Amino acid sequence: MHATLTTTYTDTRADALGWCLGLPPLPALAERTVELGGLTLELRLLGASHQMLISPVRGEDAPVSETVACVPGAAGPLPARAATRLGRWEYEFTALTQGFEDAAFVARVREIVTLAGGHRYGLIGQYPGLPYAVTAMVVEGCGAGAVWSTWHTYPQECRIVNTRSRAM
């Protein structure tokens, strides 16, 4: 699902992203709810960031909330890797920031747009007036849990932050 975000692109930096578990739902510029394997997953684009909310359809377990965003005072630095237990959930997170030359950056953003835009459970937000500034998410079922990937692009730096998470 494609969404044109109704906000102008803010000149943020890849290094400004933080990571936080357990935040309540934040105001979203675009969102998509998916039911997959007994779970309700809310993919939420928060401007230059994302939030994923996962809860069992029957509501017997506490939900998982992952936020990758610039949330002053609420988020710690973006870790390369993290793993923890959240109630019954085993949660894992990885992040990779890559820099590109101009042409390679454009090509990679196009690949991300094609992948997320064509994915059955994808959500991609594009900023008006800046074609290579996107935030994209895809989610898939994995056993009794879910796996999701996100991409945050920064055209002014030619950098892309890619995260991959799993809650089982």
Question: Quick one: how far is CA 105 from the chain centroid?
Answer: 19
Residue 7: its pLDDT value, please?
A: 57
Lowest mean pLDDT, pick from 99-113, 117-131, 152-166: 117-131
In one letter, which amino acid is 4?
Answer: T
At 128, the pLDDT band (50, 70, 90 cuts) reads confident
Q: What are the start-end ranges of the H helices in 4-162?
A: 102-118
For residue 23, give the DSSP letter. P
Lowest mean per-residue pLDDT among 25-29, 126-130, 158-162 = 126-130
Sorted by where each begins, the domain ranges of the chain are: 2-167
- Rounded to a whole number of angstroms, the distance between the first and last alpha carbons of the chain is 25
For CA atoms 148, 150, 64, 118, the dihedral sign is negative
pTM, full prediction: 0.90
Indicate the range of 62-71, 114-123, 137-146 predicted with least confidence. 62-71
- The yes-or-no verdict on residue 29 having pLDDT over 70 is yes
